[in-house]
Chain A
Amino acid sequence: MIEQLSWKVGGQQGEGIESTGEIFSTALNRLGYYLYGYRHFSSRIKGGHTNNKIRVSTKPVRAVADDLDILVAFDQETIDFNFHELHSGGIVIADAKFNPVIPEGKGVALYAVPFTDIATQLGNPLMKNMVAIGATSAVLDLDAAVFESVVVDTFGRKGAQVVGKNMEAIRAGAQYMKDELNGQAKTMKLAKADGKRRMFMIGNDAIALGAIAGGARFMAAYPITPASEIMEYLIKKLPDFGGAVIQTEDEIAACTMAIGANYAGVRAFTASAGPGLSLMAEAIGLAGMTETPLVVVDTQRGGPSTGLPTKQEQSDLLAMIYGTHGEIPKIVMAPSTVEEAFYDMAEAFNLAEEYQCPVIFLSDLQLSLGKQTVEPLDYDRVEIRRGKLMNGELPPLPDKDNFKRYEITPDGVSPRVLPGTKYGIHHVTGVEHAETGRPSETAANRRAQMEKRMRKLEHIHFPTPVHKQLRHEEPDLLLIGFLSTRGAIEEAMERLEQDGVKVNHAHIRLLHPFPVDDIRPLVEKAKRVVVVEQNATGQLANLLKMNVGHADKIASVLKFDGNPFLPGDVYTKCKELLAQWPPLKISAMM
């Protein structure tokens, strides 16, 4: 009986690898298991190795597993590329068609199952994926019937016959494997799950759902990996809310259009990845200067330039904080789980309106595309707050006077009226301007308006700027990260604790303005600090040093090879650093 399973299916891109993983994991999710999936794919449509690694557990999991119990292979390349992840006792289930071979001596068993032949005999070679799922279910001692509801959902619109054939393929695969195993001890019987129905979604789903829940009714966007799912979801759903999505000619248009829509009173946003964000830099500055609310999602991927478009990285951080010319107030937030991605995205629209500034909602490829089981989302927790937006009728202004849209106020936030409002006329410009919005270049006005804008975020109210897991008053080690590394850090922390290391963990959810008051005491009390992040220069570590000091006790664990952190990566590198503290080099790279 096992509590946890690490399963991977691999083959050529375009061969249905994704749907194999999808059907397998959705069915297990429906049984109440906690799932965490991560896809390895390339920037091409057909061909090239792709795989989907799925972790199944009776308890919540938020990281890719270090190793592998079962590898389902549709080609030899899958075995060659992934075999090293299998532990002793692991299983390879491969299509007999390509005469699979595995390296000797690791204690891994190979089962060559005629996926393609069985599928062809049943009438369609494409059903080889179903045969593979069936073979897996036999190893796990799962009844083939558990896949039925998912098969119905997936193929139902193609008719009952297609559904029937696919189920037949699953059963045939299961039967073949049962005969093959012949009662051998190779079965990895999964402990029973709690049977609760939970959501199973990627981070981008949660971001998109959070946007709608947060009142977003307009989106302008340009397709890009790994952000496109957000716009695709809104294109499907916004018509129900009277809203619209425009696929623009480029990201400059997307961001600027979202600014125009926000200015006119709709909660509007855009979503992109690094290259798109680079193009949007000027527009984000416009939103900052004109104090127009704006939400921009950046699903980080491997940079620079086109970089690694389908791989994990967290290297946009400093560009997102500082990446406009001149100085503007800006909020940069980064959820650490899919659940937080939902709530934080909804909240981003409140912050944008309350502080009348751009909000950069950071994600990363692993968080955006990793598919996982999600705890129930509570819509009652979603608030709509519109800050100083003026409602109702305004008093008449003296003849031809402008409404003071940029009135100097103690908190820096000025009353905001929407175009179309009687007696609210004012000018908006990216040129430095006076309280009425009219251009002004006087030194006194410049100082007053600059100070007013920067003052807005001095006392920002952000619900949970830091997710803290504090077990010790004075820990040996404080681990710090942001976004999708949370799961890997949490698991590494458990292992370090088992080794007797006292570990605290802080995952930063508000990157800018930096939550100095929340972080500083944690850093001060820790003997050592290790910042875990997916870039080559230690951007978060540098931000930390800049804001709270203590550079002499802050080291980095960095990974920038395109793959997500595994718990074992963090654990091993932390052990290395602790064994030789102070580290000779400030960074330990993966």
Chain B
Amino acid sequence: MATFKDFRNDVKPNWCPGCGDFSVQAAIQRAAANLGLEPHQLAVISGIGCSGRISGYIHSYGFHGTHGRVLPLAQGVKMANRDLTVIAAGGDGDGFAIGMGHTVHAIRRNIDITYIVMDNQIYGLTKGQTSPRSAAGFQTKSTPYGSIEPALSPLEIALSAGATFVAQGFSSDLKELTSLIEEGVKHKGFALINVFSPCVTYNKVNTYEWFKERLVKISDIEGYDPSDREKAMQTVMKYDGLVTGIIYQNKEQKSYQELVPGYSETPLAEAELKMSKEKFAELVAEFM
């Protein structure tokens, strides 16, 4: 049995000391071990930005792709090998700006992968510009007079796009984050986990303290039922998105793979590439 240490490698992350992404890295490693995975059974697919580096810091298969395209890449991997555990990871710019089109469609497509967004409300690697998650009025290098555009709410978007699993975590709570990732991986379908992962260098507003003062645990809300989509939407709106835990889960909806007609039950990557001469003749005959 692999332990979380087996998912570590000897690459030193180039994240700033105190970066929230360290916790996400640790939570993925712990969740993978808790789920009984071996390193070679996990593929971490990541986007571009500080967060995108994460696939290189985990001892597993990893693919660091292009900016905003982590989800198409990850969905392709999963379609090719349904036995692999596929975790996609990226930042808020990656998922909610340049890649937003893919995010919404991956959500509604519901392929069985887990998508972790390291949401720090800022562009870090390009040294501090506004993100679609930055609040109105937020001052950055690209919004010196304060952001004019409002922050978008990934949880509301996910819920309205037909998500079957929506969760939110916080880098300070490794235990909860680990458990959310485990649940996301176990979920049969697309799991979105937005993680408040503070940028200690460029975001002096949304700090660890800022979140600690505001975040509400969904488990502390009495009578909360994560299968109630309407309630989930209301709760997210009521708390302005500042909740953590499993916000919504639809366990009934079948995943994309379960619905594709004829889709191989064994990894497609192992499919036979030749066909019988009879089958070929049958295909050809249709053109006669």
Interface residues of A (CB under 8 A from B): 30, 197-201, 205, 209, 212-215, 217-218, 220, 237-244, 246, 248-250, 252-268, 282-283, 286, 290, 374, 376-377, 379-380, 384, 400, 402, 418-431, 438-439
Contacts and interface: CB of A to CB of B under 8 A. Distances in A.
A400 B77 contact: no
B72 A253 contact: yes
A261 B79 contact: yes
Given A201-B287, A241-B275, A242-B262, A418 B72 contact: no
Contacts of A402: 9
* Residue among A212, A253, A423, A430 having the largest count of chain B Cβ atoms under 10 Å: A253
Given A246-B109, A427-B55, A218 B268 contact: yes
Nearest to A249: B105
Interface stretch (B35-43, B115-123, B128-136, B179-187): B35-43
A248 B81 contact: no
Which secondary structure dominates where chain A touches chain B? mixed
A417 to B, nearest CB: 9
6 contacts: A215-B274, A241-B271, A261-B76, A282-B66, A402-B9, A419-B40
Nearest to B262: A239
Nearest to B288: A197
Contact of A260 (B56, B77, B263, B273): B77
A209 B282 CA distance: 12
A426 B77 CA distance: 15
Contacts of B41: 420
B268 A283 contact: no
Contact of B287 (A205, A238, A379): A205
B101 A217 contact: no
Contacts of B77: 260-261, 263-264, 419
Contacts of B78: 260, 264
B205 interface: no
A242 B268 contact: yes
B113 to A, nearest CB: 10
Nearest to B261: A239
B259 to A, nearest CB: 10
A131 B66 CA distance: 57
B80 A266 contact: yes
B63 A429 contact: yes
Interface string B37-77: 01111010100000000011001111111100101111111
Contacts of A254: 72
Contacts of A422: 38, 40
B102 A249 contact: yes
B40 A421 contact: yes
B102 A420 contact: no
Contacts of B264: 217, 242-243
B1 interface: no
A20 B76 CA distance: 41
B267 interface: yes
B271 A217 contact: yes
Interface centre among A214, A237, A246, by most chain B C-beta atoms within 10 angstroms, is A246
A286 B269 CA distance: 21
A81 to B, nearest CB: 31
